[in-house]
Amino acid sequence: MISSILQQFVEAIERQRSRWSEPLQPPASEEQVVRLLAMTTERLETELIVEYIDLLRVTNGIDENGLEVYATHTVRNIASDVIGRELMVDGFVEKNLELRGDYQHFVDFLVFASTTLYFHGMDLSTGKYWVLPKDSKTPSRVFSTFEELMIDAIGIVLQPEFKPQ
């Protein structure tokens, strides 16, 4: 289960999206979670953190205002029905494999989310969470927990009237 503060930020995204009648992605099914865990072990040769899985059990990916939190696998964004064109939310394993192919130093990282300018992830060698500018190898912010990382990422894309107090 995600923390109450992270839950508040997810609910804030849900309220923000409701202005345009755009729903939040549905929760990941247990089958999707099991498949993601197996693919992460097989293809990325690492284990996933429980906190990320817990977030996916609330919403299977987020695509909001330039922030994309990766889903269990590449999935159709259900806002496509409202917008009238097909949108996708990238899958975690697929995106991390792509990034490892593009950036050699990403072999030691897991990336959970991205924006136009930043990657949001974890350094597997230190266990620290970071925000990494796309044009740099040096993190701009470092966090001790996944919760702090996600609150930072979500907080950037929330309009002021929707931010939890």
Provide mean pLDDT across the span 95-112. Answer: 95
Closest by Cα among 96, 46, 86, 29 to 63: 86
The model's pTM is 0.94
Asked if pLDDT for residue 84 goes beyond 90, the answer is no
pLDDT tens figures, 119-140: 999 999 999 999 999 999 999 9
> What pLDDT sits at residue 54?
97
Q: What share of the chain is helix, strand, coil (3-state, %, to 5)?
A: 45, 20, 35
124 SS3 class: coil
> What pLDDT sits at residue 11?
94
Asked if pLDDT for residue 165 goes beyond 80, the answer is no
In the chain the beta strands, taken as DSSP E runs, fall at: 62-64, 67-69, 75-76, 88-89, 109-114, 118-123, 129-133, 141-143
By the 10 Å C-beta count (0-12 exposed, 13-18 middle, 19+ buried), 154 is classed as buried
Domain boundaries defined on the chain: 4-97+146-162
Confidence of residue 85 (pLDDT cuts 50, 70, 90): confident
Contact 88, 76 (CB under 8 A): yes
Asked if pLDDT for residue 99 goes beyond 90, the answer is yes
- The CA-atom distances, in angstroms, between 39 and each of 80, 86, 92, 141 are 27, 25, 10, 29
By mean pLDDT, which of 67-71, 75-79, 146-150, 153-157 is the weakest? 75-79
